[in-house]
Amino acid sequence: MTPDTVKPLAGQTALVTGASRGIGAATAKALAEAGAHVILVARKVKALEAVEDEIHALGGTSTIAPLDLTEPESVTRLATAIAGRWQSLDILCLAAGYLPELTPVSQMEPKQFNQALLTNLVANQALLSNFDAMLRRAPAGRVIGLTSSVARNPRAYWGAYSVTKAAFENLLETYSAEVERICAVRVAIIDPGATRTEMRARAFPGEDPQTVKPPEQVAARIVALLASGFSALHRERID
């Protein structure tokens, strides 16, 4: 077995948001195990350090970048720091997300709705804007956006979350159309389906977590997709 077979993403640099837990953490570890150097982005330092320790235990490499993506200028500072160390960015995985309380549209709590907009949409636009140049300098830059089925199939009481995810998908599709003919950057929109995460447990408190798949299964699919490559706009649901 050749080294490239063992480490299909060797030599690549990946940035993963929401990397302190759930699908983000699982994806970060899977990317590192596949050979990528992973930049771990989330708010909680100790949680990021724990993920980094696991990556190092697997023989991988990573860099932690603790910050709140919704704070003004934080993404710009992050991009400046990363550009000072790496010439390009091969993978941008947008996994961070915020789930407000599930309420009727008429009773949305403004502060939580605004937080969802900032986390699920505004911060991701800032990431695309600030890392666009680095993605274009990569041989085959890839953007992976984690979405939800409620973005395309609205569900009662999920409005404060679903509308931000619908806008996020539109943002990614628009970006994909803009870069498709002028550079090698490509976009994938992934709906992970029912997955064993803290967010899922909050939304479905009575559900047995063992009845849904672990985040590692989603992470494995993302790595496989990146290793095989994809053209134009890729979209799939992982069941």
* Residue 104 structural domain: 3-237
Residue 213 DSSP label: B
The predicted structure's pLDDT at residue 5: 53
CATH code, domain carrying 199: 3.40.50.720
Tell me: pLDDT of 207 over 50. Answer: yes
Overall domain count for the chain: 1
Residues of the chain with pLDDT > 70, as a percent, come to 98
Tell me: pLDDT of 4 over 80. Answer: no
The answer to whether residues 16 and 34 touch, using CB atoms and an 8 Å cutoff, is no
Q: Which residues contact 7 (CB under 8 A, 6 or more apart)?
A: 34, 35
Secondary structure (DSSP) of 108-140: --HHHHHHHHIIIIIHHHHHHHHHHHHHHHSTT
**Which tens digits make up the pLDDT trace of 67-111?**
999 998 999 999 999 999 999 999 999 999 999 999 999 999 999
**Which tens digits make up the pLDDT trace of 137-166?**
999 999 999 999 999 999 999 999 999 999
**Which of 98, 157, 161, 175 is labelled catalytic?**
161
The predicted structure's pLDDT at residue 189: 98
- 161 catalytic? Reply is yes
